Chains A and B, each alone.
Chain A
Amino acid sequence: MYKNAIYTILENRPLTDQVWRMVLEGDTQWITRPGQFVNIALEGKYLRRPISVSDYDERTLTIIYKVVGEGTRQMSKMQVGEELDLLTGLGNGFDTSKAAPKNLLVGGGVGVPPLYNLAKKLLAEGREVSVVLGFNTAAEVFYAEEFAALGCRVVVTTVDGSQGVKGFVTTALAEGDLAFDYFFSCGPLPMLKALYDATECSGQLSFEERMGCGFGACMGCSCKTKYGNKRICKEGPVLLKEEVIW
């Protein structure tokens, strides 16, 4: 179930040159799983901006967003105390009931944020969590310490080798000392595909797509799966590895 409500900005600050963290206060009862998203209305913009929820509690939710265009630039200029109109509780989110005792979380760039609350949930359920966070370069890295502080084993990869393992997230997997029986992932399409091919175990992948409404009405973000057509905003954004068609 989803809901439309007004939220107040409690914090809005940069984590890197391009990535910002915003904490919003308001009704979070409609967010029921990690990996769900909110759809944000912005002044002067016709469509809302879908952004994944990085973390939430009873009265706040945290989003981490990359400034990629005018809309997100507008968001980055917003001040504490300003209000935003959100649709919340959108999408299916990650299903932790399918997790194994040892889990691997793989995030690429702004695919990292939704894994944070997921890691919290999995750890609270008594499962082991290793995290691989992939970025282009050291200056883009964020949240490595936050994951470590939760008690996860954290491996950072950078394409240029300026921090952690040089290469892609799959390079870290190929090095072989990460033991896991199930994976959860969110990131750019090529990363998800590479991970799909590199893993033998089952897992869940969170996809991105341009959306119209974000709540299943416009059919703008449809994809084909082995179990029929699905809407990334409604039956997704998380798909099971078994159902993905590339």
Chain B
Amino acid sequence: MVDTSVVLSGWQLDNPVIPASGTFGFGNEFKDFYDINILGTFSFKGTTKEPRFGNPTPRIAECTAGMINAVGLQNPGIDEVIAKELPRMKEYFHKPVIANISGFSLEEYAYCCERIDKEEQVGIIEVNVSCPNVRHGGMSFGTSPEAAAEVTRAVKAVTTKPVYIKLSPNVTDIVSIAKACEVAGADGLCLINTLLGMRIDTMRRKPVIANTMGGFSGAAIFPLAVRMVYQVAKACSIPVIGCGGVETASDVIEMMMAGATAVEVGAANLRDPYASKKIVEGLPVEMERLGIERLQDIIGIVK
């Protein structure tokens, strides 16, 4: 019997499989496909202070081995998430959840994190400084070490739960940003968010996405994500949640060997609603094949 459990900042998860924010809503659509309590946990839809409709449509473009999205942080706002989504989630999900918080100012990040910090269902606060689909916010906080550190300090000052910063790959040196977050007090990191991408409809001679560009994700970005997780995990001593193009149990193990303590699954959930379930079920099989008894033993094993 293999041991799939992992520990994130003192929180023991049954397994490292975590559907990523923005691909899993609040779990509601997936609970009709399978019992989502088999997951390690999940990261809920990126939440801001005010309700947001997001960007105009089309918001989705298909790519080879991936997709571009420019949803633009559509969410019901922190008040409704606390008043409606969390109580409703309690009925079908019985583990702590990761709260993904986004914002357009330091004050907004601090306000939302302080509010969500008081919710007992929340295990970790994941601060998104890497959304490529909104102006004057999101990614602009994640593309310089100073700004990322400032957000980290502002959030840490008003919270008691572990704070993980979700980093953007759209930078020249992700390691310097990761280190700045660690120094500023981050309890962990999550990487990578989507890569800024673009498709053109050659018939119409126009971008496919109404917002012109969007975040590229899916199997195609997996090698990039593994590389960045490897670099960051080597340079930092706080836990890293690996994210980007994960589709199989084998990918989870590879990401963990690169240095991830847990792994988020994103776009794969959209093509196959059972993707995360299949990964959870496939992990023990893959571990046995590779002679791994305790999954925690392989974290960062690659030198």
A residues whose Cβ falls under 8 Å from a Cβ of B = 1-2, 4, 41, 45-48, 87, 209-213, 215-224, 229, 234
- Looking at A4, A218, A224, the one whose CB has the most chain B CB atoms below 10 A away is A218
Are A218 and B270 neighbours in the complex by a CB distance under 8 Å? Answer: yes
Complex CA–CA separation, A1 to B271 (angstroms):
18
Question: Is B223 positioned at the interface, with any CB of A under 8 Å from its CB?
Answer: no
The reply to whether A220 and B62 contact each other, CB–CB distance below 8 Å, is no
Instruction: Point out which of A47, A219, A229 has the most chain B C-beta atoms below 10 A from its C-beta.
Output: A219
Nearest A residue to B73, CB-CB: A219
Tell me whether B67 and A46 are in contact (CB under 8 A). Answer: yes
B11 contacts chain A at the CB level, 8 A cutoff: no
Q: A212-B67, A219-B71 are in contact. Are A47 and B271 (CB under 8 A)?
A: yes
B60 at the interface (CB under 8 A from A): yes
Question: Chain B contact residues: over half helix, strand or loop, or mixed?
Answer: loop
Distance between B274 CB and nearest chain A CB, rounded to angstroms: 7
**In-complex Cβ contact of A1 among B32, B57, B59, B270 (8 A):** B32
- Bound Cα distance from A216 to B269, whole angstroms: 12
CA–CA, A223 and B60, complex, Å: 14
Q: In whole angstroms, what is the CA distance A209 to B71 when docked? A: 13
CB nearest neighbor in A for B220: A46
Interface size class of B (residues with CB under 8 A): 35 or more
A165 vs B62: C-alpha distance when bound (angstroms): 38
Given contacts A210-B61, A213-B273, A217-B23, 4 further A-B contacts (CB under 8 A): A47-B270, A217-B269, A217-B270, A217-B273
Residue numbers in A under 8 Å from B45 (CB-CB): 219
Report the minimum CB–CB distance from B212 to chain A (whole Å).
15
CA distance A124 to B78 in the complex (A): 48
- Asked whether A209 lies within 8 Å of B57 as measured between CB atoms, the reply is yes
> 16 A–B contact pairs at CB < 8 A?
A4-B33, A46-B271, A47-B270, A209-B57, A212-B69, A213-B269, A215-B29, A217-B30, A218-B60, A219-B25, A219-B74, A221-B57, A222-B54, A222-B57, A222-B59, A229-B74
Nearest Cβ on chain B to A11's Cβ, whole angstroms: 26
Known: A222-B54, A222-B74. A46 touches B60 (CB 8 A): no
**Chain A CB within 8 A of B185 CB:** no
The listed residue (B63, B65, B69, B274) touching A218 by CB distance below 8 A is B69
A216 to chain B, nearest CB (A): 4
Q: Which residues of A contact B64 (CB under 8 A)?
A: 46
Inter-chain contact B57/A46, CB cutoff 8 Å: no
Give the dominant DSSP class at A's interface.
Answer: loop
Q: How far is the CA of A74 from the CA of B59 in the complex (A)?
A: 24
CB-nearest residue of chain B to A71: B62
Determine the residue in chain B with the shortest Cβ distance to A209: B57
Q: Which of B24, B57, B62, B208 contacts A217 (CB 8 A)?
A: B24
Name the residue on B nearest A216 (C-beta): B29
Report, nearest first, the 7 A-B pairs whose CB atoms are least far apart: A213-B270, A220-B60, A210-B58, A216-B29, A219-B74, A217-B29, A212-B60
Contact present for B53 and A224 (CB under 8 Å) = yes
Q: Are A47 and B65 touching (Cβ within 8 A)?
A: no
| CB of A50, distance to nearest CB on chain B (Å) | 11
CB-defined contacts of B272 to chain A, threshold 8 Å = 41
CB contacts under 8 Å to A, within B264-290, are 267, 269-274
Look across to chain A and name the residue whose beta carbon is closest to the beta carbon of B60. A220
Q: Does B40 contact A (CB under 8 A)?
A: no
Q: A4, B62: Cβ atoms under 8 Å?
A: no
Contacts of B207 in A (CB 8 A): none
- Taking a contact as CB atoms under 8 Å apart, the answer to whether B270 and A222 are in contact is no
Query: What residues on B are CB-neighbors of A48 within 8 Å?
Result: 271
Contact of B63 among A46, A217, A223 (CB under 8 A): A46
A212 in contact with B74 given A219-B54, A221-B57 (CB within 8 Å): no
What's the nearest-Cβ distance from chain B to residue A223, in Å? Answer: 7
Residues 238-276 of B, flagged 1 when their CB comes within 8 A of A and 0 if not, give: 000000000000000000000000000001011111100
A213 CB contacts on chain B under 8 angstroms: 29, 269-271, 273
Closest to A70 in B: B62
Q: Is the CB–CB distance between B66 and A46 below 8 Å?
A: yes
